[in-house]
Amino acid sequence: MDGKDFALIPNVLKYDSETIKLNPLLVNWMLIKRAQFVALFFSLGLGLALLLMIATQDIAFAWSTTLQVSPQGFHSVLVCVSSPWSFYFPSAVPSLELIEQSHYFRLGDNLSQKMINDASSLGAWWKFLLCATIFYAIFLRFCLYLLSVLGFQLAITKSILSMEGVKQILEDMNEPIISTHAIESMDSYEVVHTGELQIIDAFRDSYNGVQGWAMPVEKLLVLNDILSINSQVLYEVGGTNSLKVDSEIIAKSQGEILLYVKGWEPPTMDFIDYLEELLIEVDRVTVMPIGTEENSYIPMPKSIEVWSRKLALLEHNKVYFKHFTQGSDI
């Protein structure tokens, strides 16, 4: 593809003709589409010029031929030509009488007296000419333009599929089973969970602050009331809070913090990141997973195990863990 071909591509797309190679099929359809586009506008201009000529001038049409064609034979030809619109616009089909009146012969410098007498009716040809222009020059050209657009789109698809590496990518995407293996054999390793977690047996009467991970303040008030905990500083952290809001809450935190979490949700990295930043500012954080309201906020044993194992991996001496069971705390 040379520089002239790249001129057909919209200016929005900048290509390097030396490094990018386009499929010849795509280039051909690109030229066909552009040619049909230009021809369509030429046909529209032809129809507009005909309308202007009819509206601004008094034209008497005539027909003439060197061949031995009778008016009856010529009428039959025009009837076939006019078949696309004859049903809708019968007046746009030249009649045999009009053809006979407008027949012009080459001999003689002057028009025949018959044509002069019928001059007023010779202008009726304009209907036929206009319909012929609209159908054969504009409508059919528009159909060809649509076909060129369709062909161009199909050429784009085929060109993409013919690019290097595309077929392999499609095969990989459609492969139902993907098998992997290591180049060298490796021994299997068992995941070992290490670390110790400081577990407390009873709550304090008050904390310097109570926070709830993705829990509204109203829920914190209910939990504090159930556990008989006093705290004037309540914050909702995580959840829909932005990082800026959580950072401001951390900056205000001090002393000992009680942090409620939803036991049925596993600890996420967002929570661990927040906890690590909070531990820098405070003296102690007691993490307490709770259950659902239907279960009287008592967490499931599996939830307690997941949270305790995750917090134990932090191995931080400021982290404490507390959970309650039915009949002991609530």
pLDDT in tens, 271-326: 999 999 999 999 999 999 998 888 888 888 888 888 888 888 888 888 998 876 55
Spatial distance between the Cα atoms of 251 and 188, rounded to a whole number of angstroms:
45
Phi, psi for 33 (deg, rounded to 5): -65, -45
Q: Which of 259, 248, 251, 268 is nearest to 310 (CA)?
A: 268
% of the chain residues with pLDDT over 70: 76
- In the chain, where are the structural domains located? 3-163, 198-321
Cβ count within 10 A of residue 291: 19
Give the model confidence (pLDDT) of 99-143 as tens digits.
Answer: 888 777 765 555 565 666 566 677 778 889 999 999 999 999 999
Say whether pLDDT at 83 is over 90: yes
Predicted TM-score of the model (pTM): 0.43
Fold of the domain built from segment(s) 198-321: Cobalt-precorrin-4 Transmethylase; domain 1 (3.40.1010)
- Token output for 114: 């018959």
Q: Spell out the residues 6+ positions from residue 84 whose beta carbon is closer than 8 angstroms to its own.
A: 135
